[in-house]
Amino acid sequence: MECLVRLIGVLLISNEDCDQRYEYLSPQIINSPVFGVEAYWREFAHLGAIGWTRDDGSIYWGCGGSLIWENFVLTAAHCVFNSDFKNSLPTVVRFGDLNLYNDTDDQFVQQYSIVKIIRHPEHRFIAKYHDIALLKLEKNIELHGTVVPACLWDDEEVRFTTLESAGWGTTGFGESQTPTLLKVALHPIDKSVCDRHYRAGDRGLKQGLKDYQLCAGDATMNTCQGDSGGPLEIKLLHTIYITPFIVAVTSFGSLCGKASPGVYTKVAPYIPWIRSVLEGQGEDAPDGNFTALLAKVTALAAVNCTLPKQFQPLLTKGLAEEHLCFGSDIFLVPEACEQSLGGGVQSTFLVDRAKHTVYALNLLGRDCGFGEPAIGVKISSHAQWLSQILLKNKRRSVESVLFYDADLELGDHCGLPDGTIGMCTDIRRCPKVQYDLNIQKAVTFCSTGTIVCCPFHNVLNATEGAGSELDTCSSLFRFADEQNHLSYAERDIKKRFPHVVKIQWILHHGLIKSCIGTLITQSVVVSSANCLSRIGNKTAELILDWETKSPQMSIEKIIIHPRYDASTLRNDIGLVKIGGTIESKSGTIPTCVWRNQTHTPLFLQQVRLSGNGIYQAGGMLK
């Protein structure tokens, strides 16, 4: 996304800071959509009132505009001319004011003269096309919480269900202008529907509506005369702060306040032009990327899981049982959180201590499931394959009579087939159950195919190997947690996720690539087959931390699920065997694997890496 601002004072304000700008300057909370109500102070810190100076020195405020650069305002091209005044051109822009006609809130008002007007070269006053312009101010604004440039939405796809507009326009047909800034929630309307209201051949619309024009409206409210040039925007989340992104500029409509939609000029198609104007005026409009995010996601039922169009060809048969759909209704600052292949989607239980259980691996999605669902692959769906790899000596008989209780965990009391009570134990610690399986007698399994209900007097005292680590991870994590005297919230991000590692390799031209992995035993890491398969015959290393001199370990073997299908991303899971073991004193500790195939945690956390380190994103399932 584009944020066209520069270094002001000691703060770096560029397109890299769109996710942080309102954190430093204008902290806010998320508000529910509203319409036809007064805006609150600093909510539209980028919005300016555009005025014409009368002969008596008073000012008529007739349009709105959005500050997108320290000395440039984005508005509608038709706003730069008003024949009702001797001087038909606008003269001033006023920021940081809610009520334009009294001075009760003028403490932080900033007002500047307009020194240059630049309409889009294809705009014509007799038509309603290319209705966009830039106003250059006499000098740079003073950066403050009440006056802050907005960001520009640079994706022509508008995927939001609700947008917001604001202005000092009239409050209805035949009504007077509002002295106080009002905001309204509007919904994007499909072009085919909007074409019924605005037909080809209508005044100023010889060719009908164009793709760069957006329709939006509400059953009772709309933008009105005087709101022209103002923003149609979306407020996006970053950590606990929200950042406004200008999606479109208010252009025209029919009767305001009625059910007919208004028409807005999308910003995205004009960003190259905006950039060229700024550079032509001696400004430096940089490119950049966003940082990462810390938040929550939620699990979604498959019926509520609507994938973005670009991912639908990968899942032509829809979601399978192995898939997890997760996300949040809140949209994020674009690129603030990017899916990391193989990254864990985990649950965290905070009672007397923190306990992590990795539930799924990242498969596909964008913005980490915020605003649109993302997809993961459930580890529990591949428990049998994991057992085959990690427990090669386990005895099996497909004809044995098996009783399965998914709610039982290691160490729980359980009911044996003969009606007596036993304990859920690693199968290798119970030779009686191994024998019963061989002779095809009834046995009871607890949470997974490696945990069985064993008579108390048949439980052996010791186990070893990967299976033992998988089964005892809860106690391992408890021990490690007890060594940490800080509460879960007080720990740094690495200590909250001591099981997250990075698998790294170098391409022939020197570019470093990586996957996220989750340590599930002291010598085994789980990740996505999609990412691991990209390593090929290159030498990969395991990185235990994200500092410059992070500890590294050699990789002995990479095992891709035998039924992994790259075309459909089915069975997207793989294992990495480490050349050695990772000791707990390194600070990297195995996590638990969620084995319950019938139940899903309500809240999950998604873990990803960026160039700056490890981040988490969390939420609910859909």
**The one catalytic residue among 26, 228, 340, 527:** 228
Backbone angles phi, psi at 592, to 5 degrees: -90, 155
Q: 220-253 pLDDT, tens per residue?
A: 666 676 688 999 998 887 655 678 889 999 999 8
pTM above 0.75, yes or no: no
Burial class (CB in 10 A: 0-12, 13-18, 19+), 144: middle
| Whether 144 is catalytic | no
Q: Which two tokens stand for residue 184?
A: 């309204």
Q: How far apart are CA 615 and CA 127, in angstroms?
A: 49
In the chain, which segments carry CATH 2.40.10.10? 20-280, 298-390, 493-594
Instruction: Give how far Cα 431 sits from Cα of 390, 416, 442, 468, 618, Å.
Output: 19, 15, 14, 15, 42
3-state class of 270 per DSSP?
A: helix
Q: 483-541 pLDDT, tens per residue?
A: 554 444 445 556 677 888 888 888 877 788 888 888 888 889 999 998 899 988 888 88
Extended beta strands in 365-430, E state = 374-378, 402-404, 413-415, 421-426
| Whether 78 is catalytic | yes
Confidence grade of residue 568 (pLDDT, cut at 50, 70, 90)? confident
What is the CATH number assigned to the segment(s) 298-390? 2.40.10.10
Q: 117-127 pLDDT, tens per residue?
A: 999 999 999 99
Predicted local distance difference test score (pLDDT) of residue 241: 67
Q: 598-618 pLDDT, tens per residue?
A: 556 656 666 655 544 544 445
Backbone angles phi, psi at 414, to 5 degrees: -145, 165
Do residues 108 and 147 lie in contact, with contact meaning Cβ atoms separated by under 8 Å?
Answer: yes
Q: How far apart are CA 313 and CA 98, in angstroms?
A: 48
The alpha carbon of residue 66 and the mean position of all alpha carbons in its chain are separated, in whole angstroms, by 25
User: What is the pLDDT of the chain when averaged over all its residues?
Assistant: 75
- In this prediction, residues 41-68 reach a mean pLDDT of 89
**The one catalytic residue among 17, 19, 97, 131:** 131
Map tokens 């170098």 to a residue.
506
Q: How far apart are CA 590 and CA 20, in angstroms?
A: 34
Name the more confident of 314 and 161. Answer: 161
Angle among Cα 373, 377, 379 to the nearest 5 degrees reads 140
Backbone angles phi, psi at 136, to 5 degrees: -95, 130
Please report which helix (H) or strand (E) contains residue 38, including its range. Answer: strand 37-38
Predicted local distance difference test score (pLDDT) of residue 352: 39
Predicted local distance difference test score (pLDDT) of residue 27: 39
Instruction: Name, of 20-29, 38-47, 287-296, the range with top average pLDDT.
Output: 38-47
Q: Which two tokens stand for residue 108?
A: 């932080």
Do residues 349 and 355 lie in contact, with contact meaning Cβ atoms separated by under 8 Å?
Answer: yes
Q: 271-303 pLDDT, tens per residue?
A: 999 999 999 988 876 553 322 233 344 555 544
Q: How far apart are CA 10 and CA 554, in angstroms?
A: 44
Confidence grade of residue 621 (pLDDT, cut at 50, 70, 90)? very low
Q: Which two tokens stand for residue 57?
A: 């020195």
CB neighbours of residue 435 within 10 Å: 13
Confidence grade of residue 372 (pLDDT, cut at 50, 70, 90)? confident
**The one catalytic residue among 17, 26, 46, 78:** 78
Instruction: Tell me the CATH class for 493-594.
Output: mainly beta
What is the CATH number assigned to the segment(s) 20-280? 2.40.10.10
Name the more confident of 343 and 422. Answer: 422
Q: How far apart are CA 589 and CA 592, in angstroms?
A: 10
Q: Which of 560, 552, 561 lies closest to 579 in space, CA to CA?
A: 552
